[in-house]
Amino acid sequence: MTRPAVHTVPAPEGPPTATTATSTTTPALPSSLHVERHGPVAVLRLARPGKRNALDDATVLGLEAFFAAPPPDVRAVVLDAEGEHFCAGLDLSELTESDTLAGLRHSRMWHRAFERIERGDVPVVAVLKGAVVGGGLELACAAHIRVAEPSTFYALPEGQRGLFVGGGASVRVPRLIGVHRMTDMMLTGRVVDAADGQALGLSQYLTGAGEGLGRALELARHIADNAAITNFAVLQALPRIAEAGPDEGYLLESLMAAVASGSDEAKTRMRAFLAGRAGKVGRS
Q: Which residues pair with 22 in a beta bridge?
A: 37
Active site residue 211: no
Active site residue 158: yes
CA-CA distance, 114 to 180, in Å (whole number)?
A: 24
Q: Which helix (H) or strand (E) holds 192?
A: strand 192-193
The string of DSSP letters for 193-254 reads EHHHHHHHTS-SEE--TT-HHHHHHHHHHHHHTS-HHHHHIIIIIHHHHHHS-HHHHHHHHH
Active-site hit among 36, 138, 149, 211:
138
How many CB atoms lie under 10 A from the CB of residue 60? 23
Q: Which ranges of 32-99 would DSSP assign to H, the alpha helix?
A: 57-68
CA-CA distance, 75 to 258, in Å (whole number)?
A: 23
Q: Which helix (H) or strand (E) holds 124?
A: strand 124-128
Are 142 and 174 spatial neighbours (Cβ–Cβ below 8 Å)? no
Active-site hit among 36, 64, 149, 158:
158
Q: How far is CA 21 from CA 9, 18, 45, 146, in A?
A: 11, 8, 14, 22
Q: Which helix (H) or strand (E) holds 37?
A: strand 33-38
Give the CB-side neighbour count of residue 236, counting CA atoms within 13 A. Answer: 13
Are 255 and 262 spatial neighbours (Cβ–Cβ below 8 Å)? no
3-state secondary structure 125-153: EEEECCEEECHHHHHHHHCCEEEECCCCE
Which residues form the catalytic set?
138, 158
